[in-house]
Amino acid sequence: MDRLVLSSPAKVNFGLWVGRKRADGFHDIVTIIAPIELHDTVSIRKTAHGISVEPWSRAVEAKAKVKAKAEALRSSDSTSTSTSASIPWDSSNLAYLAAEKFFKSARLDAGCSIRVRKRIPVGGGLGGGSSNAATVLVGLNRMFGLPLGPRRLRLVATSLGSDVPAFLIGGPCIARGRGEKLRRIQLPRLDLLLCLPGFPVPTAWAYGELDRLRKAGQGLTRPVISPKILRAGFRRDESDRVAAQLSNSFEPAVFRRYPALNLAKELLLRHGALAASLSGSGSTVYGLVRTKGWKDPMAALARNGFHCVKTRTL
């Protein structure tokens, strides 16, 4: 096959415990990663040589850049946009790096053209870049006759970033270590309301701020994340048990710097969500909701300037 078009799903973190910084510069984590229906679309086409990555439509991208500049002028924070206009479409793009590492690992003298239709907000804690990278690895491996087995593919994914291997699993998983120790788990299909604030939270800043606060006396919590307890809580509709499982180590640091995200969580809980949490290091805050007989918090969030998207876990 010479061309593939694949879905590249976003994810949410059902709970995220972050430990101390390790000697290798990473942090130990424990989290449940669940892919969701919100997705980008990745098109991969074989070429004789070279790698290119570009947005799905240059016309759409041009409009996005104009919109991003207008929003930046209206805001005192020049990083407040999360459109594809803020994505580097060059060799630093994670999808480009994934293709480069794939060809090197597979020892293939070939190239590809990659186009990405972005729907996942940039810098939102939903793993869009990592998902794109994993999708490129899976697509190229399929396109070139599976030269890499599962173990080698996961090694390549791990070298690209801590979240990338989880997107190879194809379903919910629990991640430990720096994110490379993965175990597939079973979860029920869950309905979510994503609150998208329209600005990114830099991951490097979030880890640095978490370390700084801990040095100032904020103690380390212990991981309480358990797929078994989480599943039982969903089945029995025990909101307190579910909320405890969704605890996120980043929230104190991120909410202090971005109080609007704390407000989003409060509004979700006040207006009908079973539980709510920050995804990753932010900026997305999500609420677990019911499909029937629930009070929809979207109107309350919209009144406070938040854009929301309904989605489900895969």
Q: Which residues are catalytic, by number? A: 11, 163
Q: How far apart are CA 132 and CA 168, in angstroms?
A: 11
Instruction: Yes or no: say if 13 and 174 are a contact pair by the CB < 8 Å rule.
Output: no
Q: Tokens 């809580």 sit at which residue?
A: 233
Q: How far apart are CA 161 and CA 181, in angstroms?
A: 13
| H helices present in the chain, as ranges | 58-74, 94-106, 128-143, 150-160, 203-215, 227-236, 239-245, 251-257, 259-270, 298-303
Q: Is 19 exposed, middle or buried (0-12, 13-18, 19+ CB in 10 A)?
A: middle
Going by C-beta distance under 8 Å and a sequence separation of 6 or more, which residues neighbour residue 86? 68, 122, 123, 200
DSSP 56: S
- Alpha carbon distances (Å) from 31 to 28, 174, 183, 206, 217: 10, 6, 11, 16, 24
Instruction: Yes or no: say if 253 and 209 are a contact pair by the CB < 8 Å rule.
Output: yes
Q: How far apart are CA 272 and CA 192, in angstroms?
A: 12
Instruction: Yes or no: say if 72 and 81 are a contact pair by the CB < 8 Å rule.
Output: yes
Ordered DSSP codes for 204-262: HHHHHHHHHHHHTTPPPPPP---HHHHHHHHHHT-HHHHHHHT-BTTHHHHHHH-HHHH
